[in-house]
Amino acid sequence: MKALLRLIVLMVLAGLALQLYFVGRIAMMAVMAPESTAFQRSEVYRVASSTGTLKWRQQWVPYDALSDNLKRAVIASEDASFAEHDGVDIVALEKAWDKNAKAEQLAEKRAAQSTSKLAPNKPAAAAPKPAKIVGGSTITQQLAKNLFLSGERTLLRKGQELVLTLMLEALLSKQRILEIYLNSVEWGEGVFGAEAAAQHYYRKPAARLSPYEAARLAVMLPRPRYFETRPGSGYLASRAGTITARMGGVELP
């Protein structure tokens, strides 16, 4: 019994020490730019392992040197209430939950219909597409995950993401959170940050992005490697038009 109690105490102390480490790292980010994120390192390692080539394009750009068009486009596309919430957007999470529940029900219905239509001796048809899962994460939550966490989806990891999100909001300004996010997020295979993305896709600095160019980059964020290979995507163009129209109503931090 004593050994079990000692183990529990050690686990609690280890957990507290880890949180203090995160607090220290985040506090340093108020004055120092992070050299890399956990996500960047994992992606670079994945690409290097499969191709034997180290691909990492990134150049830090201060907040004031980033195009306001890009700031507005990313907020409009990823987190419309970024300037108001405290790191977690409950309304967005509820909407995502409802949308995912409806998508799963529709997928189950289609699967049942597909099975019922099969003749007794007819080969099974291809499995219906799984439900498309929609996230409700804020920019701060995405930054917390990218900075420190792995891509696994567990309750423990989600809980740690929430704690990190609250730390980021408590220790950093909204401007600094957005600055770090825009300078570290993935925009293609080995392409990280706004400056590298602007140079990669438009051969110009991030400070000179037009509203439509900024909107296209913002729309790419959920699936950057997918859209990198599909520059003529109709969805990308259509969605970028929608985001461009919304940008005028975005409040910048």
Tell me the CATH number at 60.
Answer: 1.10.3810.10
> Is the CB of residue 104 less than 8 Å from the CB of residue 242?
no
Q: Is 51 buried (19+), middle (13-18) or exposed (0-12) by CB count in 10 A?
A: exposed
Clarify whether residues 151 and 77 are in a common domain: yes
User: 155 is written with which tokens?
Assistant: 């309750």
Same domain, 95 and 187: no
Helix axes 68-78, 139-148, angle to 10 degrees: 100
155 and 193 in a common domain: yes
- What is the domain extent for residue 97? 90-116+131-137
Look at the chain and report how many structural domains it folds into: 2
Is the pLDDT at 163 greater than 50? The verdict is yes
The tokens for 33 are 């730019």
**Summary mean pLDDT of the chain:** 87
Over the stretch 87-146, which tens digit does the pLDDT of each residue have?
887 766 656 556 655 555 565 666 666 656 655 565 555 554 544 444 568 999 999 999
The CA–CA distances, whole Å, from 54 to 19, 40, 57, 110, 185 equal 32, 12, 10, 43, 18
Average the pLDDT over 139-168 and give the result: 91
pTM, two decimals, is 0.84
**Is the per-residue pLDDT at 155 higher than 50?**
yes
> What would the two tokens of residue 23 be?
């607090």
Last residue of a domain, one of 137, 169, 199: 137
The answer to the question of residue 27 being in a domain is no
Residues 206 and 97 in one domain: no
H-helix segments, the chain: 2-28, 38-51, 68-78, 90-116, 139-148, 155-171, 174-184, 194-202, 211-220, 224-228, 234-246
One domain, residues 150 and 181:
yes
Residues 105 and 164 both lie in one domain: no
Half-sphere exposure (Cβ direction) of 75: Cα atoms closer than 13 Å: 25
Q: Which position has the token pair 């189950």?
A: 108
Indicate if 181 and 248 belong to the same structural domain.
yes
My answer on whether 206 and 173 are in the same domain is yes
Q: Is residue 154 over pLDDT 50?
A: yes
CA distances from 235 to 58, 75, 239, 242 (A): 27, 19, 6, 11
- Partners of 186 in beta bridges: 192
Same domain, 168 and 234: yes
The rounded distance, in Å, linking the Cα atoms of 94 and 62 is 34
Question: How crowded is residue 201: how many other Cβ atoms within 10 Å of its Cβ?
Answer: 19
Question: Does residue 214 contact residue 73 with C-beta atoms inside 8 Å?
Answer: yes
Residue that the structure tokens 């730390």 belong to: 167
State pLDDT tens for residues 59-96.
999 999 999 999 999 999 999 999 999 888 776 665 65
Give 213-249 pLDDT, tens digit per residue: 999 999 999 999 999 999 999 999 999 999 999 999 9
How many CB atoms neighbour CB 111 within 10 A? 14
